[in-house]
Amino acid sequence: MIWMLLFPKTYWPRNTLKEPSVTLTDYLLTIECGLFAWWLFDISSAHVTLQSYFVGIFAALAIAALFGGTVHGFFPVETSLGYRILWPSTMLAVGAAAYCAWGIGAYLLFAAATANWIMLAAGIFLLVYSVTVLFFFRDFSIAIIHYLPAVLFAAAAFAVLAVRQMHWAPALGFLGLVATVIAAFLQARQVAVHPVYFDHNALYHLIQAAALVLVYLSARTIVAV
């Protein structure tokens, strides 16, 4: 380990890291979301179910970022074993995050009975999505199509709650989720700071990291009540 730190170029093969900015920003998201999940888990809350979905979405996003960053950095070739294992795992983690987003929206807006029916439907959507990813299509656009409605639903729930309560906490959650949607739009349009050193994926990760701070602050306030 000491040799790796002192002489990294002699330990790692040259050009091992294929997309440094994408990989490092993904790993930044992993650390950030992992910490948010842990800090939310550590709160004593009366809203246990809602708390679990907030913890779940950050944990799922941390896993997705970890696997996705590793694919971008070390296993970009689709025929490699690492890609075949990690890329479907990344997409499944995104699916889990979408499921949690449905849960956040459902339990923010509705009583438990109604929210449970919504989560049953979300579970069916997740099952269909998972089968699609594992056996048919693995293009990331499938993950976006699956994830976007859940995020918009959760954002709408935050907005309704903000109007009902006239409180800043759900308003922050709304702004944070809207920012993640804007980030996804910029990624799809391939808007980049630099085409090589900081491409559209890296910019997406950076905006998402800032947006998720708002979502975390909102979640922490809501579940701590």
CATH code of 175's domain:
1.20.1070
Q: Give the pLDDT of residue 225.
A: 66
Structure token digits, residue 7: 């002489």
What own/partner pairs with CB < 8 Å and gap ≥ 24 does 179-187 have?
Answer: 179/207, 179/208, 179/210, 179/211, 179/214, 180/151, 180/207, 180/208, 180/211, 180/212, 180/215, 181/148, 181/151, 181/152, 181/155, 182/207, 183/207, 183/208, 183/211, 184/144, 184/148
pLDDT in single tens digits along all 225 residues of the chain: 333 333 344 444 444 667 888 999 999 999 999 999 999 999 888 889 999 999 999 999 999 999 999 999 999 888 899 999 999 999 999 999 999 999 999 999 999 999 999 999 999 999 999 999 999 888 878 888 899 999 999 999 999 999 998 889 999 999 999 999 998 888 878 887 877 778 888 898 999 999 999 999 999 999 986
Is 4 inside a domain boundary?
A: no
- Domain interval for residue 171: 16-223
Is 51 inside a domain boundary?
A: yes
Is 64 inside a domain boundary?
A: yes
Is 8 inside a domain boundary?
A: no
CB proximity list for 100: less than 8 A, separation 6 or greater:
53, 54, 56, 57, 60
Is 10 inside a domain boundary?
A: no
Is 11 inside a domain boundary?
A: no
Q: Give the pLDDT of residue 16.
A: 65
Helices (H), the chain: 2-6, 8-11, 20-41, 48-74, 81-109, 112-135, 140-165, 168-188, 200-223
Q: Give the pLDDT of residue 189.
A: 82
Q: Give the pLDDT of residue 171.
A: 95
Is 5 inside a domain boundary?
A: no
Q: Provide Rg for the chain, Cα atoms.
A: 18
Number of domains in the chain: 1
What's the pTM? 0.88
Is 185 inside a domain boundary?
A: yes
